[in-house]
Structure 1
Amino acid sequence: MTLPALIACDVDGTLFDENETISPRTRDAVRAAVAAGAQFVVATGRPPRWIRPVVEALGFAPIAVCANGAVVYDPANDRVLSSRTLAVDTLAELAELAARVIPGAGLAVERIGERAHDTATPQFISSPGYEHAWLNPDNTEVSIDDLLSAPAIKLLIRKAGARSADMAAALAKHVGIEGDITYSTNNGLVEIVPLGISKASGVEEIAKPQGITRDEVVAFGDMPNDIPMLLWAGHGVAMGNAHPDVVAAADEVTAPNTDDGVGRVLERWWL
């Protein structure tokens, strides 16, 4: 492709290595692209409150597509620019479905306020006994009724010891009109976002007002929640450590996230 106008990049398993850091080589390549006029957009399943470590690692604050496309966030000004939510009645339907299809699964929701840490809006709440899939749990346990009492940017369904792919496949037989299913780890966690929302829709929301077309976008990812973005972009790049379905969807496979996969591709145009 010609010189990209926008770089859309996943974080975990893509930009970050296994220590949740960015190598100097990849950081230099990203910063060279930005210095030359390209826009760098973070596109992640992370909520806005988990974007600060990315900003610190990069050394600048790019616009971030968060929660798999449900939120567009400006970390430089700590401001939520837009959000899409699952309605209360939709959450209730999905919770009933999860209980029926995946017995014993715990539920959690991500909510959003006006800022990354909005004390007026409890942001990550879970059902009693919810077992966090990550090492940095920050959930508040509430009753199921409270959990489902307000709109949410995504619903998380968690079952320890299960495979996310199997859970997603089971739910996909039933979910169609309620929301879109995805996952970013195979550690027994699936996420449901509003129907039609994905990292692709989030990146397009940023690109379109600037007159940037999909053909001018290069996108990087490693897990199934990245597939819509890689298919939408003019050039979709799967990491060497990517899920097989991501590899199949990509235009190119680069080196793993532990070997500067993102940086190696960007160096073709910059540096």
Structure 2
Amino acid sequence: MEKPQLIASDVDGTLLDTFERMTERTVAVVRRAAESGVPVVLASGRPPRWIPSVAQAAGLTGYAVCANGAVLYDIGADRIVDVNGLLEPMVLASVVADLEKAIPGCGFAAERVGSSAIDSRVRNLVVERGYHNPWGDGEGIESARAEVIGHPAIKLLVSHDGMSSDEMSVAARAVLDSSVDVTFSAGFGLIEVAARGITKALGLAEVAERLSVPAERTIAFGDMPNDLEMLRWAGHGVAMANAHPAVLAAADEVTGPNTEDGVAQVLERWF
């Protein structure tokens, strides 16, 4: 690949190590790329409120594709630029009813967004009793099911501590209709439901259009199924060595794992 004109990277399992930190080596090459005029875009399943801490470590102030493409966030301005494909309450209610039958014992949470990363007017994460957060319970506002599904959401999160995410996604896709898509960014019992067609590829394509960069001059890094569409869209899609088998199969290249600065190993060719 020629020197990229746009760099996009997933965060967890890709840019960050197992301690959720960006190493000095990775920070250094990301900073060199940005300082040379090549935009670096964080493309994550994370909501906007989980982006600033990562961006600050590398001095990034540009765009972030959040919630698997549902939200485009301007880091420097702390502003939600665009929201795509909200799940309306009627859709949420139908999805929840179907998933309760397909995945007995699962719990639900809804992610919402306001005008900035943390908008005091919005209850960003609403969880029901029984929802298990793989990253540790305690975040979000515990509420009744009616509150979880009663307002538009950027994504619905579904947990089950006795199943893998792969198992859950197979069961979910068997019962859900074409109005929604299912993906996951962690393997331990969590799937994410979004409106049909909402992917990181959609969000990254919007960033590329705003910056007048063609897909073929874009490089993207990822490790989980929620990165698949982005890696296929980019001119050069790179999977981490620790990636899900489906991501390894779809990538143009496989780099080192996130524990060995896999992103930096590739970017240091040019920066």
TM-score category (smaller protein):
over 0.9
Whether the 8 Å contact between 1:94 and 1:178 is mirrored in structure 2 is no
**2 CA distance for matches of 1:209 and 1:73?**
13
What is the Cα deviation at residue 176 of structure 1?
3.5
Is the CA contact (8 Å cut-off) linking 1:63 and 1:74 kept in structure 2? Answer: yes
Q: Which amino acid aligns with 1:78?
A: D
Counterpart of 2:21 in structure 1 is: 21
1:173 and 2:156 aligned: no
2:251 is matched with which residue?
A: 250
Structure 2 partner of 1:189: 190
SS of the counterpart of 1:181?
strand
Match of 2:75 in 1: 75
Residue in 2 aligned with 1:132? Answer: 133
**What is the Cα deviation at residue 198 of structure 1?**
0.4
Q: Secondary structure at the match of 1:119?
A: coil
Cα distance per residue 1:24-43 (max 9 Å; x no partner) = 11111111111111110000
Match of 1:31 in 2: 31
| Residues 171-250 of structure 1 aligned to structure 2 (within 5 Å) | 171-250=172-251
Is this contact kept in 2: 1:214–1:232, CA < 8 A? yes
8 Å contact from structure 1 (residues 240, 253) kept in 2: yes
Aligned to 2:96: 95
Q: Deviations over 1:188-229 (max 9, x none)?
A: 000011110101000001111322111011000011111110
Distance 1:22 1:88 in 2: 37
Superposed displacement of residue 136, structure 1: 6.0
Native 8 Å contact 2:48 2:117 kept in 1: yes
Looking at structure 2, the residues matched to 60 and 200 of structure 1 have their Cα atoms a distance apart, in angstroms, of: 20
The residue that corresponds to 2:6 in the other structure is 6
Q: Which amino acid aligns with 2:55?
A: V
SS at match of 2:13: coil
* Superposition RMSD in Å: 1.1
Counterpart in the other structure of 1:268:
269
After TM superposition, the structure 1 = structure 2 runs for residues 25-64 of structure 1, keeping only pairs within 5 Å, are 25-64=25-64
- What code does the residue aligned with 1:128 have? R
Provide the identity percentage: 46
The TM-score normalised by the length of structure 1 is 0.97
CA contact (8 A) 2:40 2:60 kept: no
Residue 219 of structure 1 contacts residue 230 of structure 1 at CA under 8 Å; is this kept in 2?
A: yes
Residue in 2 aligned with 1:149?
150
The answer (yes or no) to whether the contact 2:60–2:75 under 8 Å persists in 1 is no
Distance 1:235 1:176 in 2: 32
Provide the rounded CA distance (Å) in 1 between the counterparts of 2:59 and 2:37: 16
Tell me the distance in 1 between the aligned counterparts of 2:47 and 2:119.
12
**Once the 2 structures are TM-superposed, how far is the Cα of residue 147 of structure 1 from its aligned partner?**
1.2
Distance 1:232 1:176, change over 3 A: farther
Q: What letter is aligned with 1:186?
A: G
Name the stretch that deviates more: 208-217 or 161-170: 208-217
Query: Partner amino acid for 2:118?
Result: H
Q: For the residues of structure 2 that align with 1:100 and 1:174, how far apart are their CA atoms?
A: 9
Rounded Cα–Cα distance in structure 2 between residues aligned with 1:106 and 1:164: 13
Bigger Cα displacement from structure 2, 159-168 vs 137-146: 137-146
Distance in 1 between the 2:41 and 2:18 partners? Answer: 21
- SS of the aligned residue for 1:34 comes to helix
Q: Give deviations 1:46-91, integer Å, cap 9, x for gaps.
A: 0011112202221232311000110011121111111121111111
- Return the alpha-carbon distance in structure 1 between the equivalents of residues 260 and 153 of structure 2: 36
Task: Give the ranges of 4+ consecutive aligned residues of structure 1 lying more than 2 Å apart after TM superposition.
Answer: 59-62
| Residues 23, 167 of structure 1: alpha-carbon distance in 2 compared, 3 angstrom cutoff | same
Contact kept in structure 2, 1:111 and 1:152, CA below 8 Å: yes
